[in-house]
């Protein structure tokens, strides 16, 4: 067994079987008349993926021992600068560790953060887009602000202003 040569084979993935209770398995086509069926697909601890059909595979063979140790798919790979690292999907979502100590998250639909107790954001400032700011404020600050009415006693003016994100709120006097 140990005297047999290790071969490196370039393959094209047909299918991945990702069962939690077993090691991930792959089905691929290699050289002419060479098929790999239900063989082990090894990945680095903490990183996992299910490549799409047609993705490229790097397969090691030694006699009857056959393992896929890497996969890539140039159809969906994103462009990076030297030193950058990314996670990406075929749908265009990605997380990029960029040059200049920037982490960029790109999601076409939604970003979900699940935390059992709290989320800490430590920053000098937080910039939120108008849509996010409006939705965050509407449920709390805007409704409370707009419901509060001054009656003119104690030196406070009797005119009140509506707060509407994106508009000059000083021109929107309540009751006018």
What are the pLDDT digits (tens) for 66-111? 999 999 999 999 999 999 999 999 999 999 999 999 999 999 999 9
Please state the pTM of the whole predicted model.
0.69
Residues 39 and 96 in one domain: no
Is 43 within 8 Å of 97 (Cβ atoms)?
no
| CATH code where residue 30 lies | 2.40.50
How many angstroms separate the CA atoms of 56 and 14, rounded?
A: 10
User: Which domain does 145 fall in, by range?
Assistant: 130-171
In this structure, the answer to whether residues 142 and 161 fall within a common structural domain is yes
CB 27 within 8 A of CB 59: no
State the total domains in the chain: 3
By the 8 A CB rule, do 25 and 40 touch? yes
């Amino acid at each position: 067994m140990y005297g047999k040569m290790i071969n490196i084979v370039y393959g094209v993935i047909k299918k991945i079987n990702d069962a939690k209770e077993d090691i991930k398995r792959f089905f691929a086509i290699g050289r002419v008349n060479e098929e790999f069926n239900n063989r082990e697909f090894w990945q680095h601890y903490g990183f996992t993926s299910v490549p799409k059909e047609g993705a490229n595979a790097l397969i090691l063979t030694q006699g009857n021992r056959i393992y896929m140790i890497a996969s890539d798919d140039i159809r969906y790979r994103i462009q990076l600068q030297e030193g950058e690292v990314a996670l990406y999907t075929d749908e265009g979502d990605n997380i990029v560790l960029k040059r200049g100590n920037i982490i960029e998250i790109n999601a076409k639909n939604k970003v979900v953060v699940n935390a059992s107790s709290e989320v800490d954001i430590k920053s000098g400032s937080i910039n939120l887009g108008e849509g996010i700011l409006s939705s965050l404020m509407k449920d709390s600050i805007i409704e409370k602000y707009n419901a509060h009415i001054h009656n003119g006693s104690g030196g406070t003016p009797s005119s009140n202003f509506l707060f509407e994100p994106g508009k000059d709120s000083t021109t929107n006097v309540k009751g006018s």
